[in-house]
Chain A
Amino acid sequence: MDHSRRSILKFTTIFGLAVATNLLGSMKVFAAEWKSKSFEAKTMEEALKELGIDKYTLSSDVTVNSAEIAENGAVVPVSVSSAIANTDYMAILVEKNPSPLSITFNFPEGTDAAVTTRVKMGGTSNVFAFVKADGKWFAASKEIKVTLGGCGG
């Protein structure tokens, strides 16, 4: 674990250098990395563990906004924001999805800790937002009902 982290660090340094000297095209540069373990976690508990969230506080400064009823689970608009100073990371999880973790954001300084996106929901569930500020985790949730629609199948 320690070893691999160090090699990632090393890699980042080289990567950073490459960027500085413009060896790589700007389109290849991605600071974020797709972590299969957290996105493939089958329960929220497991996903939180993979994200390194062991303790968190429910906070009214974090808001999950959406309609209480979604006409279609394939597209559920969700707006999440944090009023906590120095919020630099956010994760949106749909508790009852087969893989709860949906999307994560890194907010560099100057970017509002507020985003709107659209997620898929397998059915009615709580949608959670976890945010990190000064190394501490805060959370909020909202229940969104997914309805069946229309005539016929």
Chain B
Amino acid sequence: MADPMRIRAVLSGDKVDVKVLIRHDMETGLRKDANGKIIPAHFIQTLTAKYEDKTVLDTVMGIAVSKDPFLSFKFKGGVKGGKLVVSWVDNLGDTRTDTAIVS
């Protein structure tokens, strides 16, 4: 199973500052292992962030997003204690959803 994400959601002014770190290999499918065998592609394709059920960011990724992806963005309308839910799905169907409370 996929490892948990590290999500930080901090209210500053009228915006929530979100930083997401994801443990994922983001394999391109172009690399070879030590024995010269192609390492199959394995990468996140979509990621969605929802604040109290309202989508605040929608992302589509390709193989060129770095290993252990990092995303940072800001949205309006959040309050302290509000729930931010981030989910991703990769090309092999693996998925992970984690929740952060706005602080």
Contact with A along B43-64 (1 / 0, CB 8 A): 0011010100111111111111
**Is there an interface contact between A32 and B60, defined as CB atoms closer than 8 Å?**
yes
| Number of B interface residues in the complex (CB < 8 A) | 37
Is the CB–CB distance between B60 and A103 below 8 Å?
yes
Q: Which residues of B contact A30 (CB under 8 A)?
A: 46, 48, 58, 87, 89
For chain B residues 50-103, which have a beta carbon within 8 Å of chain A? 50, 53-67, 69-77, 85, 87, 89, 91, 95, 97
CB distance from B102 to the nearest CB of A (A): 14
Mark the stretch among A7-15, A56-64, A91-99, A130-138 that contacts chain B: A91-99
Interface residues on A, range: 35 or more
B57 and A111 within 8 A (CB): yes
Asked if B70 and A35 sit within 8 Å, CB to CB, the answer is no
> For the complex, what is the distance from the CA of A114 to the CA of B74, rounded to whole Å?
8
Q: Given the complex, which residues of A lie within 8 Å of B46, measured CB to CB?
A: 30, 32-34
Task: Provide the A100-137 mask, 1 if CB < 8 A to any CB of B, else 0.
Answer: 01111111101110111111110000000000000000
| Separation of A106 and B55 alpha carbons in the complex (Å) | 10
Query: Does A4 make an interface contact (CB < 8 A)?
Result: no
Q: Considering only CB atoms, which chain A residue lies closest to B77 in the complex? A: A110
Q: Knowing A26-B53, A34-B46, say if A115 contacts B71 (CB, 8 Å).
A: yes
Give the shortest distance, in Å, between B6 (CB) and chain A (any CB): 14
Tell me whether B66 and A74 are in contact (CB under 8 A).
Answer: yes
Contact with B along A24-40 (1 / 0, CB 8 A): 00111111111100010
Minimum distance in angstroms from A36 CB to a CB of chain B: 9
- Residues from chain B with a CB closer than 8 A to the CB of A69 are none
Interface residues of A (CB under 8 A from B): 26-35, 39, 74-76, 94, 97-99, 101-108, 110-112, 114-121
Listed A/B pairs (19) with beta-carbon separation below 8 Å? A26-B87, A34-B45, A34-B46, A34-B61, A35-B60, A39-B63, A74-B67, A75-B67, A98-B30, A101-B62, A102-B62, A105-B73, A107-B57, A110-B75, A111-B76, A112-B75, A115-B71, A118-B69, A119-B65
